[in-house]
Amino acid sequence: MHCFSSSIFWLVSVFCASLIPLGAYSTENANATDTNRSREQPLQWDPPSWWDFSRPEGSVRAVYDLIDRVLGNPELKKAFDLAVVPGDRHDKPWFRIEQNTTFVGDPNIIRITATSVSELTAGLGHYFKEYCNFTIEWSTGGRAGGSHIIIPDIWPVPLHPSPEMINAATPRSVSFSLHVRRTVPWSYLMNVCTHSYSLVWYDWEAWQSLIDGFALRGINMILALTGQEEIQYQVFSELGVRDHDIRSWFNGPAFLTWSRGQNEYGSGIAGPLPRSFMKSQWHLQRENILPRLRSLGIVGVLPAFQGNVPIQIKTLFQDSNITQQGETGWIDALDPLFGRIADMWMSKLIQDFGTDHYYQTDGYFNGGTAPWMHIATGQLNPNSKTMPSKDSLNGTSPVSRSHDESWYRRGRAAYAGLSRTDPQAYWLYQGFAFVGWNTEEEATYLKGFVDSVPANRLIIIDMGYSPDGQWQMWNNASFLELHLYTQVSTISEILLANFRQFPIENLLSAVSHLNHKRYGLDQLNYNVTMASKFLLESVYSQGFSVRDLTGVSHISPPASGSLFEDDRRTPKPILCNIFQAWQYLILASFMMQSWTDPFLYDLINVGREVLAQLSTPAALNFSDAIENQQVDRKEVLSSGRLYIGLLHDLDNLVSYSEAFHLVPWIASARNLATQDSQGNNQNDCVSPILGNKTGLLNGCCATFLEWNARCQITTWNPTPSGAAEIPGGPIDYASKHWHGLISPYYTKRGKIILSRALDDESRGLPLNKTAIKRLLARHAYDWTTSISEGAFDSEYSGKEIK
């Protein structure tokens, strides 16, 4: 037992990023020994009971429907016999795959049995991946690497019969089975950022693909944040806040994560939020997303009240304890108004969406700021902090440390905001709040929250950036682990397939084998094996840091993200390995009769990484050349042309794959407006920055949503017409290596800087940075407001690679 009682927390396997699951199962032969089974518990923890956790029942019919959607032929589901059977309370959830047939030609039927619908779907996914060699993409349009599905003439047998059975004189019925047990209760998907970076423009077709893909991978709990703004709107309207004040309090659709995440409420980024968008997203959540999740036995974690409100609430309730920060108010959880709003929120939430009894709510609940900004409680002096030893923090006695009473009281108030309406409520909390915590004082705060909630009802999502995770510091069984892979365009299927509970004995063999399957190869391909080797020694072996730190390289990128030595000419070994992998993939391409979508994706993606890394030192050299007081025209020209040329090559390369095109991003944003089936007002999408542009084109909401989409991946904060510079903020923070974005935006930006630098040099002047800022602001405004006229063609028309 460690510093916090393990009965308070329980461990959940969780992966997210842009999107990522964990295969939270252990595999055993039906005849495995007890010794083998004991390896299923690598962590020393004991959840209260596998069967005590609330979860939707689901239906077997829904799994058959999933087969129809994934395989595209309703007749194919006849090859599967699916069933859910009662589980043993003293055992773990499991699925079994088997084939019952005779040697005289009985139908080729695959039987999958499981203790729940979620395990049943996971068993189906396991069979598809391991025995049919299917690669099933969870995204649409190839963004997640593409699918490769070849329907076999005869469905593969799960396990081979023994020789004595094959040689038997008398044909008889034989059963071969694979039995797989879940190793942790939950496999969790997503964080708040995912919904803006990856899912913001998802229609129901895209959501179906995502839910199906991750259900097949064993995910049984998903953060379900869609449509919450309509709940909030109705609650705050009932309290007397005006329509415009509420809608202006929300950010625009592409930036809702940073409203939901607390730190940018009231900042008006690309807003105000249209009611039509709120209502259509509410309908999508209520009528489509949550029913589908529940039909497949997946828990949807709903958003609860966190204490942040439109600042107008402070005027309406003048006696309430509200702290103002910008246009946002923070209600102290001990104020009666906090409980009143929490009750209204929960009542409306459950009335509209139903519930699986799991809720996310983050904050310090003391009138302070968002968890990931800074600690408000106590305003601790860093110099006075006592740095404890790891042994001290991870001590053996749960009663050896007292909790902070203020945190304890506010934790009780926050949980009461859930449990008064839903006595079965579980509270999920994002661990961003505790990133960097390592002091005795901070330990008392955390323990205050832990002690304030009934046993097994608080789950902290470990969102630390350390490969070891926060949970090992505070308690070896207290956190839910969430791996963050930020600033990447997607997560490779290679990662999805190889997360597992136990180490792989031969990583190269496993990765090479998986790539052969993804590429549709039934014979050993030396070049694929070598490409796998060099990828394993580079981007697949980055531990926790698998981020692409270059983004799309721009002027003065962070040198720390470069894969070159300080001389900017010598590549580091990791970049050499990536380049070698690309060379071998190119060689492999010549030996293949046809390319699968996953192969084309890898071929383009690895080359994209090489060119992106090359552009980093090129951008640094160009930046240095134009910054010199005595500008060398020859140096400016050579470095600028090299940098711009690399971006041109990068754009040309990614143009060959739909997965790296801007078109789907823009088209899906615009289509959300045209697919509104609820008859919502489509003329409520206005912005002072867009001015009358929304009225000039067909459908103001389609124009508004496209503008949001363009701003997120470039300037972040929208740039108004005539601005002296692009507004401060995370510029290029969500940049993408997309055809249609690189050349018209990033390459053109480089040309603008080069042209101005040469003009200033011709007059014997240093670079006019004020003029450059104005030019770049004009360029940003022009690109982000260059709205597509009429319907945006979402069909891919890429080039053929020769």
User: Percent helix, strand and coil across the chain, each rounded to 5?
Assistant: 45, 10, 45
Cα(689)–Cα(723) distance, rounded to whole angstroms?
11
For residue 705, give both structure tokens: 């949503």
Find how far residue 538's CA is from the centre of its chain: 23
- Which residues touch 208 (CB under 8 Å, ≥6 apart)? 69, 292
Burial class of residue 573 (count of CB atoms within 10 Å of its CB; 0-12, 13-18, 19+) = exposed
Whose tokens are 């009281």? That residue is 409
CATH code of residue 40: 3.30.379.10
Range in 219-223, 319-323, 654-658, 789-793 with the lowest mean pLDDT: 789-793
Does residue 20 lie in a domain region?
Answer: no
- Which residues touch 374 (CB under 8 Å, ≥6 apart)? none
Q: Which residue has the higher pLDDT, 163 or 235?
A: 235
- Which residues touch 352 (CB under 8 Å, ≥6 apart)? 230, 231, 282, 286
Kindly tell me if the per-residue pLDDT of 301 is higher than 50.
yes
pTM summary value: 0.87
Kindly tell me if the per-residue pLDDT of 162 is higher than 90.
no
Cα(297)–Cα(219) distance, rounded to whole angstroms?
10
Q: CB of 55 within 8 A of CB of 297? A: yes
Range in 375-384, 621-630, 691-700 with the lowest mean pLDDT: 375-384
- Number of folded domains that form the chain: 4
β-bridge partners, 462? 481
**Top-confidence range, 57-71, 172-186, 504-518:** 57-71
Cα(203)–Cα(669) distance, rounded to whole angstroms?
9
Q: Are residues 622 and 718 in the same domain?
A: no
Cα(20)–Cα(14) distance, rounded to whole angstroms?
8
Does residue 530 lie in a domain region?
Answer: yes
Does residue 98 lie in a domain region?
Answer: yes
Q: How confident is the model at residue 97, as a pLDDT?
A: 93
Kindly tell me if the per-residue pLDDT of 323 is higher than 60.
yes
For residue 274, give both structure tokens: 């249209």
Q: Are residues 476 and 371 in the same domain?
A: yes
- Strand 110-114's sheet: what is its strand order? 25-29, 174-182, 94-101, 110-114, 80-84
Q: Is 385 helix (H, G, I), strand (E, B) or coil?
A: coil
Eight-class DSSP state of 479: E
Q: Are residues 434 and 318 in the same domain?
A: yes
* Predicted confidence band of residue 489 (pLDDT cuts 50, 70, 90): very low
Q: Is 710 helix (H, G, I), strand (E, B) or coil?
A: helix
Does residue 100 lie in a domain region?
Answer: yes
**Top-confidence range, 64-73, 500-509, 547-556:** 64-73
Q: How confident is the model at residue 676, as a pLDDT?
A: 62
Radius of gyration of the chain, Cα coordinates, nearest whole angstrom:
28
Q: Are residues 341 and 232 in the same domain?
A: yes
- Length in residues, the chain: 802
Q: Are residues 389 and 425 in the same domain?
A: yes
Q: Mean pLDDT across the chain, nearest whole number?
A: 81
Cα(142)–Cα(603) distance, rounded to whole angstroms?
13
Range in 62-66, 298-302, 346-350, 766-770 with the lowest mean pLDDT: 766-770
Cα(610)–Cα(575) distance, rounded to whole angstroms?
7
* Predicted confidence band of residue 759 (pLDDT cuts 50, 70, 90): very high
Q: Are residues 376 and 241 in the same domain?
A: yes
Range in 239-243, 289-293, 547-551, 627-631 with the lowest mean pLDDT: 547-551
Range in 326-335, 419-428, 748-757 with the lowest mean pLDDT: 326-335
**How much is the average pLDDT of 277-297?**
97
- The alpha carbon dihedral of 701, 707, 713, 718 has a sign of negative
Q: How confident is the model at residue 43, as a pLDDT?
A: 31
* Predicted confidence band of residue 544 (pLDDT cuts 50, 70, 90): very low
* Predicted confidence band of residue 331 (pLDDT cuts 50, 70, 90): very high
Tally Cβ neighbours within 10 Å of residue 313: 22
Kindly tell me if the per-residue pLDDT of 373 is higher than 60.
no
* Predicted confidence band of residue 706 (pLDDT cuts 50, 70, 90): very high
β-bridge partners, 422? none
Eight-class DSSP state of 148: B
Of the candidates 330, 326, 341, 316, which has an alpha carbon nearest to the alpha carbon of residue 266?
A: 326
Does residue 458 lie in a domain region?
Answer: yes
Range in 122-131, 507-516, 551-560 with the lowest mean pLDDT: 551-560
Cα(260)–Cα(254) distance, rounded to whole angstroms?
12
CATH code of residue 353: 3.20.20.80
Inter-residue long-range contacts of 165-169, CB under 8 Å, 24+ positions, other chains counted: 168/103
What's the number of CA atoms in the CB half-sphere (13 Å) around residue 408? 9
Q: Is 714 helix (H, G, I), strand (E, B) or coil?
A: coil
Range in 26-30, 67-71, 93-97, 228-232 with the lowest mean pLDDT: 26-30
Q: Are residues 232 and 154 in the same domain?
A: no
Written as one letter, the residue type at 313 is I
Does residue 699 lie in a domain region?
Answer: yes
Kindly tell me if the per-residue pLDDT of 194 is higher than 50.
yes
* Predicted confidence band of residue 107 (pLDDT cuts 50, 70, 90): low
Cα(766)–Cα(628) distance, rounded to whole angstroms?
7
Find how far residue 162's CA is from the centre of its chain: 44
Cα(624)–Cα(604) distance, rounded to whole angstroms?
31
- Taking phi over 0 as left and psi of -120 to 50 as alpha, with beta for the rest, 277 belongs to alpha
Eight-class DSSP state of 404: P
Q: How confident is the model at residue 794, as a pLDDT?
A: 52
Kindly tell me if the per-residue pLDDT of 6 is higher than 60.
no
Does residue 499 lie in a domain region?
Answer: no
Q: Is 16 helix (H, G, I), strand (E, B) or coil?
A: strand
Residue 744 vs residues 613, 690, 738, 739: alpha-carbon distances, Å: 20, 20, 11, 9
Range in 134-143, 215-224, 515-524, 600-609 with the lowest mean pLDDT: 134-143
Convert 318-335 into a string of H (helix), E (strand) and C (coil).
Answer: CCCCEEEECCEEEEECCC
- The alpha carbon dihedral of 756, 762, 767, 768 has a sign of negative
Q: Are residues 514 and 542 in the same domain?
A: yes
Residue 569 vs residues 558, 572, 618: alpha-carbon distances, Å: 16, 10, 10
Kindly tell me if the per-residue pLDDT of 50 is higher than 80.
no
Range in 27-41, 131-145, 472-486, 564-578 with the lowest mean pLDDT: 27-41
* Predicted confidence band of residue 431 (pLDDT cuts 50, 70, 90): confident
For residue 311, give both structure tokens: 């600042």
**How much is the average pLDDT of 505-528?**
92
Pairing status of strand 358-360 against strand 299-303: parallel
Of the candidates 233, 276, 241, 196, which has an alpha carbon nearest to the alpha carbon of residue 19?
A: 196
Range in 333-347, 453-467, 479-493, 718-732 with the lowest mean pLDDT: 479-493
Identify the domain containing residue 299 by its residue range: 189-483
Q: Are residues 688 and 703 in the same domain?
A: yes
Single out the residue in 149, 183, 217 at which a domain terminates. 183
Single out the residue in 610, 626, 659 at which a domain terminates. 659
β-bridge partners, 603? none
Q: Are residues 655 and 667 in the same domain?
A: no
* Predicted confidence band of residue 221 (pLDDT cuts 50, 70, 90): very high
Q: CB of 731 within 8 A of CB of 715? A: yes
What proportion of the chain, given as a percentage, has pLDDT over 90?
A: 54
β-bridge partners, 221? 188, 299
Element (H, E) at 182: strand 174-182
* Predicted confidence band of residue 764 (pLDDT cuts 50, 70, 90): very high
Per-residue pLDDT tens over the stretch 604-655: 999 999 999 999 899 999 999 998 888 899 999 999 999 999 999 999 999 9
Does residue 503 lie in a domain region?
Answer: no
Q: Are residues 428 and 330 in the same domain?
A: yes
Kindly tell me if the per-residue pLDDT of 14 is higher than 80.
no
Eight-class DSSP state of 761: H
Q: CB of 658 within 8 A of CB of 664? A: yes
Q: How confident is the model at residue 350, as a pLDDT?
A: 99
Cα(508)–Cα(24) distance, rounded to whole angstroms?
22
Cα(417)–Cα(361) distance, rounded to whole angstroms?
10
Q: How confident is the model at residue 263, as a pLDDT?
A: 64
Q: How confident is the model at residue 54, as a pLDDT?
A: 78
Cα(800)–Cα(802) distance, rounded to whole angstroms?
6
Of the candidates 546, 548, 508, 502, which has an alpha carbon nearest to the alpha carbon of residue 529?
A: 508
Q: CB of 80 within 8 A of CB of 124? A: yes
Q: Are residues 173 and 221 in the same domain?
A: no
Single out the residue in 183, 216, 232 at which a domain terminates. 183
Kindly tell me if the per-residue pLDDT of 95 is higher than 60.
yes
* Predicted confidence band of residue 556 (pLDDT cuts 50, 70, 90): low
Cis link prior to 21 (omega < 30° from 0)?
no
Q: CB of 522 within 8 A of CB of 51? A: no
Eight-class DSSP state of 629: S
**Top-confidence range, 60-74, 401-415, 619-633:** 60-74
Tally Cβ neighbours within 10 Å of residue 226: 25
Convert 44-104 into a string of H (helix), E (strand) and C (coil).
Answer: CCCCCCCCCCCCCCCCHHHHHHHHHHHHCCHHHHHHEEEEECCCCCCCCCEEEEEEEECCC
